[in-house]
Chain A
C-alpha cells in the first residue's frame, strides 16, 4: 500500500498563479522523485532529488528534498493550462521499489 502522504489531493487555480504541493513520509527515503501524468498518458519523470536539502529547478518547476529525508515539495511558478495533470511524488531506497504518493490533481483555469 501507499506510504507517502501527498497534499493537496486536488487544486483548481487560475492561470498565472503559483502552485505548491508536498509529500511526507514516516520513513526515510534516499531519493525523492516527482512525476507528472497528463490525461490519458503514463507518468513522466519531472525531477529527481538525491541529496537531503537539495533544491533543484527545471524551468518553472522547483523541488526540494527535505533535510529529514522524510519530505519533499514541488513548486510550479506562473502556471499555464498545459500544467494540468496529476503530479505524483515517489520515494526510493536502493534495492527497494519506488513508493508513490496518492497524487495531486491540478486543474488550471485559463
Chain B
C-alpha cells in the first residue's frame, strides 16, 4: 500500500516567494496533520483536519500560513510570503485513529 505522499521533497526559494507543499494521505484515513520540524523546536503541530474539516489550527504560526483540504485525498500547506525563519522540514501525517500517525517523508524547505 502507498504511504503518505508529499511533494516536493526539497524546495529552495527566495524570501518573499510563495511556497506550496502538497500531501496525499493514506486512502481511508480520516485525519490529516501538518507538522513542522526544526532542531530548535522539534516537532510542532501546525494544523489538523478531520474528515476534511480543519479542527485545530492554533499551531499555525501566523497569517502567512494557510492550509486546505479540498477532498479526502489531497491537502496543501501554503506560505505566502515566505521568510528565512520558515526553513524547516514539513511533514504531513494521516491516521484513522488519531494516536497512530503515519508520516510522509517530509518536504525540506529552505528560504534564502
Residues of A within 8 A of B (CB): 2, 31, 33, 35, 40-45, 48, 88, 90, 92, 96-98, 100, 102-103
- Taking a contact as CB atoms under 8 Å apart, the answer to whether B100 and A48 are in contact is yes
Query: Dominant SS at the A interface?
Result: strand
Number of interface residues of B (CB under 8 A): 18
Interface positions, chain B 56-103, Cβ under 8 Å from A, are: 56, 91, 93, 98-103
Q: Which 9 A-B pairs have the closest CB atoms?
A: A42-B103, A92-B99, A100-B43, A31-B99, A43-B103, A102-B42, A42-B91, A42-B106, A42-B105
Name 27 interchain pairs, CB-CB below 8 A, sorted by A: A2-B42, A33-B99, A33-B100, A35-B101, A40-B105, A40-B106, A42-B4, A42-B91, A42-B93, A42-B105, A42-B106, A43-B103, A44-B103, A45-B102, A48-B100, A90-B99, A92-B99, A96-B98, A97-B33, A97-B45, A97-B48, A97-B98, A98-B98, A98-B99, A100-B43, A103-B42, A103-B43
CB distance from A10 to the nearest CB of B (A): 12
- Taking a contact as CB atoms under 8 Å apart, the answer to whether B56 and A97 are in contact is yes
CB distance from B104 to the nearest CB of A (A): 5
CB distance from A11 to the nearest CB of B (A): 17
